[in-house]
A and B are shown apart, each in its own frame.
Chain A
Amino acid sequence: MSFWTQTIEIARIDLRVERRLGDTLRIVLPFAVVALLVFPLALGIELAVISRIGPAVFWALGILFGMQVALRQSVTDSQERRDLHALAGVDPAARFVGRIISGGVLMMVFLLVLFLAMVLLYGPALPEGSWSTMLISSALFSVGLAELGTLAGEVTTGLRNRTALASLIVAPLALPLVIGASQSLEALSRGTGILTWVLLMAVTDLTLAVVGVGLARPLEEATR
């Protein structure tokens, strides 16, 4: 079967499994919204400051909880499932890209709903063009985090403390994405243009894609 047929099938099944389990939308997302609620209470800060820090808190929670979304499939992956795909002739690169597509879609939905919740709860003063900037940033952030999550899942396959280890790997490597995403809104507020930050995220995504696809086969060998 063609690379893209396999890729789409892997993504389709991932999303179907997610719909059955509902981890992202029924558990991780409400958890992230509770964190949005608890954050200002714990810090005891004033309303004006809350409005100002809303977008930054959003991206911080986006990366912390987004990692759970990015890693969910890798964490539940078993040796038997990997063997099933390997013996069905699935190209490891197709598996990688399929996972990114499904992870990216889920992450995008997660971020957009969380952003909406942040706007309602924190009431930030968003400049014109915020929503389209938000869409672009979320898309690039989602793809990048899905790539990182999939790669981290692959390199930690079969290891004892996989979940914690994979999170530790993803968090610092996601820094360019967090900086790019949060600074793009800041830049919009200052009127200095978002291109630099969008390019930062796009280059990060592209680099991760090339690394992931290029190393998919050797990585599969290394994890056996």
Chain B
Amino acid sequence: MDLVQLSKVGVSLGGKPVLRDIDFVLKPGQIMGISGLNGSGKTTLLRILSTLLRIREGSGVVLDANIDSNDVFIVRPLIGMIGHKPALIGELTLHENLLHVARLTGVEEKKVGAVLAVVGLDEASDRRADASSFGMQRRIEVAHLLLTRPRLLLLDEATSGLDSSARDLIAALTERVVGDGGGVVTVSHDQARLAESCDNTMSLTEGRLELVS
């Protein structure tokens, strides 16, 4: 059973078409890379895959949920995303951010300490998120996804601006999701990096997806 199936999907934002006739399939265990210029619609596509953006044309199924229906509310906890900007509550400490997610998703709170140690932030976790560096915030996002164990992982320029250890961490997370039978979609403008790390790559040009490799 495919993790994602999009058929002739189209979306307009601000009255202007951004994506058109998008056909996309993601299979379990697959890492798909999507490249494109800035403003080509890569983030929009990821938001559709995350079920956070409703489509205007076409149809789609993500993790067995029709993306036009309220079933998306059931599957959202199985989706993990690292977007452009870190999704954290700035006024809370890094530790409190993870505890918050654990309580919302029903994960055991004692796992928070373990994931903090794995991402190397156990001694820095009492810092406020808005007082932490971008790299630290990204690590906490990885820690978040280690807690929630998503089946579908979406990465939007996730490694931009990161040091090698943080990039390795995201690679390890990707491996884990794939190893668990899930799938990964990673978006970047860096085609070369995508070709190295992904099973297949596609290119988003003029609102349309084309297979590259």
Contact = CB atoms under 8 A, between A and B. Distances in A.
Direct A–B touching, Cβ under 8 Å: yes
A121 B148 CA distance: 54
Interface in A1-40: 1, 5-6, 9, 13, 16-17, 20-21
B106 A83 contact: no
A199 interface: no
A146 B73 CA distance: 25
A80 B85 contact: yes
B1 interface: no
A127 B184 CA distance: 68
B104 A83 contact: no
A20 B91 contact: yes
Contacts of B80: 87
Contacts, number: 70
B92 A17 contact: yes
Interface SS majority for chain A: helix
A86 B74 CA distance: 11
A104 B68 CA distance: 34
Contact of A9 (B76, B91, B104): B104
Interface in B50-86: 50, 52-54, 70, 73, 76-77, 79-81, 83, 85-86
A1 B105 contact: yes
A83 B92 contact: no
A87 B54 contact: no
A81 interface: yes
B89 A1 contact: no
A13 to B, nearest CB: 6
Contacts of B92: 13, 16-17, 20
Contact of B73 (A17, A83, A91): A91
Contacts of A84: 87-89, 101
A224 B43 CA distance: 13
B134 to A, nearest CB: 13
B16 interface: no
A21 B52 contact: no
A220 to B, nearest CB: 9
A107 interface: no
Contacts of B110: none
Contact of B101 (A5, A88, A91): A88
A71 interface: no
A52 interface: no
A119 B106 CA distance: 47
A83 B100 contact: no
Nearest to B145: A87
Interface in A29-68: none
Contact of B76 (A1, A78, A81, A87): A87
